[in-house]
Amino acid sequence: MSRVLSVLTIVFVAALGMQMLAPTQSSAAPQAVRARSRTKHWAPPDPSTIPPGPLGDSIRLGLQIFNDTPKYAAPYVGNKLTCSDCHIQGGTVDKGIPLVGVPGLFPMYRDREKSVVTFEQRINQCFERSENGHALPSSSPEMIALISYTQWLSQGQAIGRPFPGRGLVKLPSLMGDSGRGGQIYAKQCVLCHGADGAGKPPVFPSLWGPDSYNVGAGMNRISTMAAFVQHNMPQTNPGSLTPQQAYDVAAYVNSKPHTAFNGSNH
């Protein structure tokens, strides 16, 4: 982590302390299509507690990037996906890949890379794969803003201890059937994501094609998408699909075209 980010962390802790407040429905609040469950003893900090001055401006920019990444981090994005498409409601929802407490877990060994990676590197992996874009420079306002926002979101969390709702639900290992998945998709998913999978960005993400994630993204793994879908989709009735149905839908989406991932291009 660069010196500017270390200083930012110290200022952040001093300015905000460890207080956790309930959320409000201000225009700065994380984008929410529906109310979702959160860990019993945790609530997101109130956006009104974001401090004034440069630190607060950076946190607010991070929130804006989270909620409309193609607009607020345009030079580094290659599709129409936004961070909150995968990290639901600004990274605050249980088993919706929340980012609460995540900065304090890094550096971390990752089996995919067979190496220890920093939080900055992990953010850039999302930009290169899920956003089908390019890495953010460490000193860029966008990188500093994303770290500022996730640290603000994580206030009060024990450093090095995973948030109780971290990640996705655990599903049994199943085989998905794209034929059955297509039938489920037509009944449960078309309303938001369209028959062509294009969605309605930035509200409903594109699931395949040039505006979606590339084949290097985590969501391109059927097991990962199945866990995400089973607990979080459809938005009108999350958790209503069985694990097998979630695997079938994931297999259907996975069968559709996604842009190739070439690390040298990112």
- pLDDT band for 11, please (50, 70, 90 cuts): very low
Q: Which residue has the higher pLDDT, 94 or 15?
A: 94
Whole-Å CA distances, 66 to 60, 69, 80, 122, 202: 10, 6, 12, 15, 11
The kind and range of the H/E element at 117 are strand 115-117
The pLDDT tens digits of the residues spanning 233-261 come to 999 999 999 999 999 999 999 999 999 99
Rounded Cα–Cα distance for residues 248 and 175 (Å): 8
Same domain, 136 and 198: no
Whole-Å CA distances, 131 to 47, 142, 145: 26, 14, 17
The pLDDT tens digits of the residues spanning 136-187 come to 999 999 999 999 999 999 998 989 999 999 999 999 999 999 999 999 999 9
Bridge-partner residues for 117, per DSSP?
108
Same domain, 207 and 149: no
DSSP at 16: H
Reading the block at residue 200, the tokens are 């309605």
**Alpha helices, H only, the chain:** 3-16, 53-67, 69-72, 83-86, 88-91, 119-129, 141-153, 178-188, 190-193, 222-232, 243-254
The kind and range of the H/E element at 115 are strand 115-117
- Judge contact between 84 and 66, C-beta under 8 A: yes
- pLDDT band for 5, please (50, 70, 90 cuts): very low
In a domain, 21, yes or no: yes
CATH for 248: 1.10.760.10
The kind and range of the H/E element at 110 are strand 108-110
Same domain, 132 and 14: yes
pLDDT for position 112: 87
**Mean of per-residue pLDDT scores for the chain:** 87
Q: b vs e for 37-52, b when ≥16 Cβ sit within 10 Å of the residue's Cβ? A: ebbeebebbbbebbee
Average pLDDT (98-120) is 95
Average pLDDT (66-89) is 97
Assess whether pLDDT exceeds 60 at residue 108. Answer: yes
Same domain, 7 and 82: yes
Average pLDDT (59-69) is 97
Same domain, 69 and 194: no
Same domain, 126 and 182: no
Cβ-in-10-Å burial (0-12, 13-18, 19+) of 104 comes to middle
pLDDT for position 28: 38
Q: Which of 32, 95, 33, 42 is nearest to 63 (CA)?
A: 32
Same domain, 140 and 185: no
In a domain, 40, yes or no: no
The pLDDT tens digits of the residues spanning 201-216 come to 999 999 999 999 999 9
pLDDT for position 24: 35
pTM (predicted TM-score): 0.83
**Domain containing residue 236:** 178-265
Total domains in the chain come to 2
pLDDT for position 140: 98
- pLDDT band for 42, please (50, 70, 90 cuts): confident
Q: Which of 207, 88, 78 is nearest to 153 (CA)?
A: 88
- Judge contact between 77 and 133, C-beta under 8 A: yes
Average pLDDT (259-264) is 87
pLDDT for position 175: 98
Domain boundary among 136, 153, 170: 153
- pLDDT band for 33, please (50, 70, 90 cuts): very low
Long-range contacts of 139-144 (CB under 8 A, 24+ apart): 139/2, 139/4, 141/58, 141/61, 142/61, 142/65, 142/72, 142/73, 142/76, 144/4, 144/5, 144/8, 144/58
**Minimum mean pLDDT among 7-11, 51-55, 248-252: which range?**
7-11
